Structures are given as structure tokens and as C-alpha cells.
Amino acid sequence: MHIAEKYSPQQIEAKWYDYWTEHRLFHSEPDEREPYTIVIPPPNVTGMLHMGHMLNNTLQDVLVRRARMKGKNACWVPGMDHASIATEAKVVARLREQGIEKSSLTREEFLRHAWEWKEQYGGVILRQLRKLGASCDWDRTVFTMDEARTESVLRVFCDLYEKGRIYRGVRMVNWDPAARTALSDEEVIFRESHGKLYYLRYRVEGMDRDVIVATTRPETILGDTALCVNPNDPRYDWLPQDARVTVPLVGRTIPVIRDEYVDIEFGTGALKVTPAHDVNDYMLGEKYGLETIDIFNDDGTINDKAGLYAGEDRFEVRRRIEGDLDAAGLLEKTEAYTNNVGYSERTGVAIEPKLSMQWFLSMKELAGPATRAVLDDVIRFVPEKYKNTYRHWMENIKDWCISRQLWWGQRIPAWYLPKGGFVVAPTEEEALAKAREATGDDALQLSDLRQDEDVLDTWFSSWLWPISVFDGIRNPDNAEIRYYYPTADLVTGPDIIFFWVARMIMAGYEYRGTMPFRNVYFTGIVRDKIGRKMSKQLGNSPDPLDLIAKYGADGMRVAMLLSSSAGNDVMFDEALCEQGRNFGNKIWNAYRLIGGWSVDPAAAQSENDRLAVAWFEQALGRALRQIEEDFAQYRISEALMKAYKLFWDDFSGLYLEMVKPAYG
């Protein structure tokens, strides 16, 4: 037979991938075999393939292909996440290019544009995964906002509301002024920031004395409604019990309250209280019945309630107010100060604590079984070190703010009644029936009700993923969920251990009474060879598709795996892709060599050949046992290295040399 001299991965890989998909060789249906299931961490619909996806999906593909080779019924479910904040931002930017502002559109018009965008650009990453050789069951592709997933999400919301777990209330939330929405605590990243401590003079009413207050956010004085000192602080014994002070520049007088919450050691021991813009101040406000003045618009500009600087950006006001306070003789001094500031994980802007009416999910009850499952190794974390991270978070869990002030996403299924109150139902028809029952008014029409404007946090869709991909919420007893659930392995990054992994475990126990997966393999971060995290901003991240075009998908995959062990960062070096391609070439050349031999079945086996075969069988058996052991411990990089050495050294370097015909 004729075998091409040079191995060309570009031709070979495309040819075989097309053959596999055309013959639906990756498709799975329930049968009598043992199932092996992986659900893909759904990439954002806005996503493009990057090096982290390369690593994650290569590992999943290795696990799923190995399961197939072992005779299991392997099912790898692909899909996409609707990514509320990211997608809405993309659509808004695209509309702006066309001269259209979101504010000029109705919700329905905006959503029409959003779905058009999704049809045009969404799913690019799934097509790119095919280039990587990912053996997903493409017939099963799902989307977190398709009909089945949306209905599942709404049913779960209604169920948790009926159980008393979901509630609505005004709470202090993390506000993202760029995305103009609330965020959950997990979506806030705290970073060390270098700013200033501003010492401001609050004049005591009826006395010729000031109380000096230190603050890092002088613009928030516009919302001050009290000043607080510690009752045990002797420095303020001179202050009358009913003292009032004047807010600098603002001119409003506010009461002085005394509470042990104030840290005597910090600053001057006097604290300005702004209940609308600090979670601890909010608690003091509740305790002492203080007025709450919200001074910010949703975009981070100052509103009319503040009395000064209306319409100006918060950071511009901070710059200006320093000069204005100084000019008025109300600024004692400033000093350099380093503190931790929360930034939006989505948009990168500094978050603003803000009082807002939101929907929350009570987490304590849900967290119990999910915590025990991981601590008791019912669900195994690889590497184990992440158990402590998980335990700490679960034991200190806060209620989840699940509402988002956006239009792209699953709309909250709550309908407000004409005379106050609301009903919660998964469909308009059920909402109307409930509303008529609640009001006793059978003439009530749907147009009399107003549906909540907010959508649910995207993670409220993806926490159901291992269940909802098999339609296990709507049809909890269907054949697929019974067969494929719980899934076998989850491969993901440790950065979403709270956003996603913990919440999926909670949903699994709540809605299936058992774990959603048996093992969680945490990948590391892909870094360049000098240790910097790969990113577009740094310009140190190659385009995976360029590397695949140059070295072939297998060359690229070998490179990712050789430099990766569970939970450890991947020091990626393009030279490894060369090594991966050379490995493919080595296999090809061995194939060519053997393909060139002619075999005479009647010829007697020489003693040399008999010994060579016996030796290689032993070497092969030993390597297979070691590889099996490595896979059991999720040492996938080590398993590849053993296979690599077995083929390169033992098979090609020694065995083929031993047995090749004498005339050769």
C-alpha cells in the first residue's frame, strides 16, 4: 500500500473528524452498557476559543475517548451559556455603532436585536471546538436560554419561592455602574488600591469645635445621615449626648450617635454614617432609625437628591470635592492610604455598595448536604487542596442575590397586582389564575398585571446544567436523566468553584437527591513560559486556531497535556507544540515502516524475534498498568508521558529495530 511520506495533520485530522461526525460516532443513547457522562462547562455565547478552553476541553476529550475505548456508553454534552451581562454589553455596543441607544427601544425590540446577534455570532466557539477534535455529541447541543432550559429555570424559581427560600427585599448589594446591575458577592474581586484618607471637619452645632472624620470616599458625605463615635472613647466625652454636627459643604445637620461598632483605633475614632452606600452603615441606620439618602444614579453619576454635583461621575466628584473642601477650610489634611476595593468581575469597574430592591435565594439550607458531600469525599476534588477553599466558603455562605437589572436572560416570573402585592408563577396563564384568586376579582386581565422587569442571574440557569441538559427538571423521571445522571467527571477551573461547582452540587441534592458528578478535576491557569497569565491584554496569548493550523490539533493537545497537572498552572511553551507534532510524525513513520514490510505466515519465528516479542509484551503490560494507575489518580500528564516514552523509546527505538527483517 502507498503511504504518504510526510505526515500532514491538517489533511488527516479534518478528513477523520468529518467521517466521525458524519457517521455520528460520538452520539449516545441510553442502552445496557455502563454510562460515562461529562457535561461541558458551557462557554459564553460571546466566547472565542482561548488557551484555557484548549486545556479544559482537551482534558475532557481524553477522559471521554478513554471511556469509549473501555466499552462504556460515553456521552459528552456540549452547550452554551447566554451570559447576561457580557451578551447585553455586546448587543448595546453593536446598536450604538448603528446609532441606536438601548433606552430608545422597548424590551421586545431590544430582545429581537439580541437574538439576531446570538444567531449571527453565538456558537462560534462550538464550531472552533470541532477544530480541536472535541468528540462531543453534537446532536445534544443545548443553550441555557433555549425553551427547555428556560422553562426549567422558571419552574425552579417558583418551586424555591413556594418553599420560602426565595424572597424579595431592599438590601445592600454590589452595584456595577458600567453594567447597571446588581452582582452577587462572588462576582466582586477585591484588589489592593492606592488612594487617600481624607480628614474632614464636621462643625458641632452650638459650639466652636469640630469633630474630625477620616474617610476614603469623600463624595459619599452627600449621603451622610449621622456621625458615630464609640461610647467608650474618652476623646469624645466633651460631646453632648444630643449633639448634632453639620455635614461639610452640604450644610445639613445630622445627629451624633454612640455605638461600640466604631473602631477607636482607626483614623480619629469618629465615623460618618451613610446608610445607602455602606453595608455596615446600613446596619447602623437600621439600628438607630436613620434616614437613607441614595446619592447615585445607576451609572455611577451623582443624582439630584445629593444637592451638589448632580450629573457628574463619582470619581470626578471625588477629585473636585477635595479642592472644594480645602477652599472652604473643611479639609484638615489628606494622607496616602492603601485599602482593598471591590471591582466587578464582569466589567472591571469599582463596584458601589447600593441599597436596592432585589430577589434573594436563602442558601444555608441548600448548603448543608452539598458541604457534607465534598468533605466526606462522596464527591472527589482533584487536587484535594480545593476542599478547604470549598469548606470555608460554604460555611460562611451568604444569601445569593439572583436578580439582574438587564433584559437579556430569563425574566423573573413575578407579576405585580394592581393594588399591591404579587404572585409568582411559571407562565402568564398560571399568573393570571393566581392573581384572580388572590384578589377575588375574576374580571382581572393579564394587562392589569405588571411582570417584574429584572432577569435572573445567568448562574441561576447554569447551576441546573447537569440536570437540565437531560430535561430532568421538567420531566424528572425521564429515561435519559435516570441513565446519564449523576455524571462522571467535571473538568473546570478553580475560579468558578463558588459560582458554579458549589451551586450545581446544591441543585443536585435539592432536585435529584444526589450528587451531580462524582469527580471534579480542577485545571490550572495557562501561563506563558515566564509565568504571566495568558491574556489578550498582555498580548502573550497565541490564538489556539493559529497553533492548530501550524502544528495540528494533536500537536497542540500533546503540548497542553505535557505541561499540565491537576490544579497546577500550565507553563505553556510553543516549543512543546513542535514536540507534539513530532510525536505524530513518529507514529506516522512507524506506520510507514511496518506498512513496507511483507509478511510470510509460513516462515518460522527466530529466537531473536521470540525474545523481542516477549520483552515488548512485558514492557507494554507494565506501561498499561502504570497508565491505568495514573488515570485513576487523574495524573493525565503523567499517563501521556508514559505512553509517549512507550511508543518513542520502547516500541520505535528498540522493538521495531529488533524485529525488522534482516534485508531491511
User: Region 99-115: what's the mean pLDDT?
Assistant: 95
Task: Give me the pLDDT at residue 190, please.
Answer: 92
CATH number of the domain where residue 548 is located:
3.40.50.620
Confidence of residue 233 (pLDDT cuts 50, 70, 90): very high
- Same-domain pairing of 572 and 516: yes
- Same-domain pairing of 638 and 586: no
Min mean pLDDT across 121-125, 469-473, 654-658 is at: 121-125
User: Region 409-434: what's the mean pLDDT?
Assistant: 96
- Same-domain pairing of 334 and 367: no
Give yes or no for residue 171 having a pLDDT over 90.
Answer: no
- Same-domain pairing of 587 and 608: no
Min mean pLDDT across 63-67, 410-414, 527-531 is at: 527-531
Residue 176 inside a domain? The answer is no
Confidence of residue 371 (pLDDT cuts 50, 70, 90): very high
Q: How many CB atoms lie within 10 A of CB 43?
A: 25
**CB within 8 Å of 371: residues ≥ 6 apart:** 390, 391, 394, 395
- Same-domain pairing of 65 and 194: no
More confident call, 452 vs 596: 452
Q: Where among 593, 615, 634 does a domain terminate?
A: 593
Confidence of residue 1 (pLDDT cuts 50, 70, 90): low
Residue 173 inside a domain? The answer is no
More confident call, 535 vs 233: 233
Task: Let me know: does 259 contact 214? Beta carbons within 8 Å.
Answer: no
Residue 301 inside a domain? The answer is yes
Burial class for 364, CB neighbours closer than 10 Å (0-12, 13-18, 19+): exposed
- Same-domain pairing of 511 and 632: no
Report how far residue 296's alpha carbon sits from residue 309's, in angstroms, rounded to the nearest whole number. 11
Report how far residue 366's alpha carbon sits from residue 386's, in angstroms, rounded to the nearest whole number. 20
Task: Give me the pLDDT at residue 664, please.
Answer: 45
User: Region 61-67: what's the mean pLDDT?
Assistant: 97
More confident call, 619 vs 571: 619
- Same-domain pairing of 312 and 206: yes
Give yes or no for residue 333 having a pLDDT over 70.
Answer: yes
Q: Where among 531, 561, 593 does a domain terminate?
A: 593
Residue 443 inside a domain? The answer is no
Q: pLDDT tens digits for 601-610?
A: 888 889 999 9
- Same-domain pairing of 4 and 94: yes
- Cell 452640604, residue? 250
Average pLDDT, the chain: 93
User: Region 213-228: what's the mean pLDDT?
Assistant: 96
Q: Which domain covers residue 135, as residue numbers?
A: 1-165+362-413+452-593
Residue 312 grid coordinates: 457628574
- Same-domain pairing of 255 and 325: yes
More confident call, 632 vs 537: 632
Task: Give me the pLDDT at residue 2, please.
Answer: 65
**By three-state DSSP, how is residue 3 classified?**
coil
Task: Let me know: does 184 contact 345? Beta carbons within 8 Å.
Answer: no
Give yes or no for residue 314 having a pLDDT over 50.
Answer: yes
Cis amide leading into 486 (omega within 30): yes
Residue 658 inside a domain? The answer is yes
Task: Give me the pLDDT at residue 600, please.
Answer: 84
Task: Give me the pLDDT at residue 536, please.
Answer: 67
User: Region 548-573: what's the mean pLDDT?
Assistant: 87
**How many domains does the chain fold into?**
3
- Same-domain pairing of 366 and 320: no
Q: How many CB atoms lie within 10 A of CB 33?
A: 12
- Same-domain pairing of 601 and 493: no
Residue 445 inside a domain? The answer is no
Alpha helix stretches (DSSP H) within 503-606: 503-511, 544-551, 553-562, 575-595
Task: Give me the pLDDT at residue 465, please.
Answer: 98
What Å distances lie between residue 273 and 172, 422, 536, CA to CA? 14, 34, 42
Residue 435 inside a domain? The answer is no
User: Region 438-461: what's the mean pLDDT?
Assistant: 95
Task: Let me know: does 55 contact 571? Beta carbons within 8 Å.
Answer: no
Give yes or no for residue 200 having a pLDDT over 90.
Answer: yes
Min mean pLDDT across 156-170, 279-293, 372-386 is at: 279-293
Residue 180 inside a domain? The answer is no
Return the bridge partners of 214, or none. Answer: 199
Task: Give me the pLDDT at residue 5, please.
Answer: 77
Q: pLDDT tens digits for 484-507?
A: 999 999 999 998 999 999 999 999
CATH number of the domain where residue 339 is located:
3.90.740.10
Q: pLDDT tens digits for 123-163?
A: 889 999 999 999 999 999 999 999 999 999 999 999 999 99
Q: Where among 568, 593, 618 does a domain terminate?
A: 593
**By three-state DSSP, how is residue 244 classified?**
strand
Give yes or no for residue 26 having a pLDDT over 90.
Answer: yes
Give yes or no for residue 534 having a pLDDT over 90.
Answer: no
- Same-domain pairing of 575 and 608: no
